[in-house]
Amino acid sequence: MIDTNSFNIDSLESEIAIDHRCVALLKQFHTNLLNEGIEPLEAGQLAHGADYFLREFIIGTCRENLFDISPVRIRQFAGHWYIIKTLEPNLKELTQVLQGVTIFYTYLQQQDKIDTSTLEKIKTYATDIDFYRRRIESFWEINDDNDYPQWCQDCPLPECASTA
C-alpha cells in the first residue's frame, strides 16, 4: 500500500527519503511492466524515462509530491527544463521519457493513486510531440542573448523550489 502523503517534501532530509521511496516505487513499476509481458529492454526504458522526470524534475527541482503534480509540469519539463538541462536535447530521447511518464502515471491511476482526469491531462501534454519538436528546433536557432528570454517566456519554467 502506497501512502501518498509520505511523498510530501518539507526538508532536505524528507527529499532524500522520498527519493529512496521513489526508487522503490519505480522498481515496483518496472516489475509490473515485466509481469504484463513487456520486454525487459522496453520495460527498463519506460522506467528510466519515469525515473528521470520524477527524480530529477519533480522531486529534485520542483520538490513536489509526485502524486499531486499539476499536469502542466509535463509541458514545463519537456518544453523547457529538459532542453536546457540536456547536453544534446533530442526528440527521440524526449519521446521515450514522455512515454515512460505516461505509462507510469497510468500505473498510478490503475492503483487509484491519481484520478482519471489528471491522467488524461498528463497524456495530452505528454503526446504533444510537435510542440516539443518546435521547442527543440527553436532552441537551436537562438542567435543571441536577446532571443533566449523570449524562448524562455514561450514555455516558462515552473515557479518551484529550485529551477537553477
Q: Where are the domains of the chain?
A: 4-154
Q: Which one has a higher pLDDT value, 2 or 86?
A: 86
Query: What percentage of the chain's residues is helix, strand, coil (to nearest 5)?
Result: 70, 0, 30
* Angle at the Cα of 106 from the Cα atoms of 55 and 110, rounded to 5 degrees: 120
84-127 tens-digit pLDDT: 999 999 999 999 999 999 999 999 999 999 999 999 999 999 99
Per-residue pLDDT of 32-88, as tens digits, reads 999 999 999 999 999 999 999 999 999 999 999 999 999 999 999 999 999 999 999
The whole-model pTM stands at 0.92
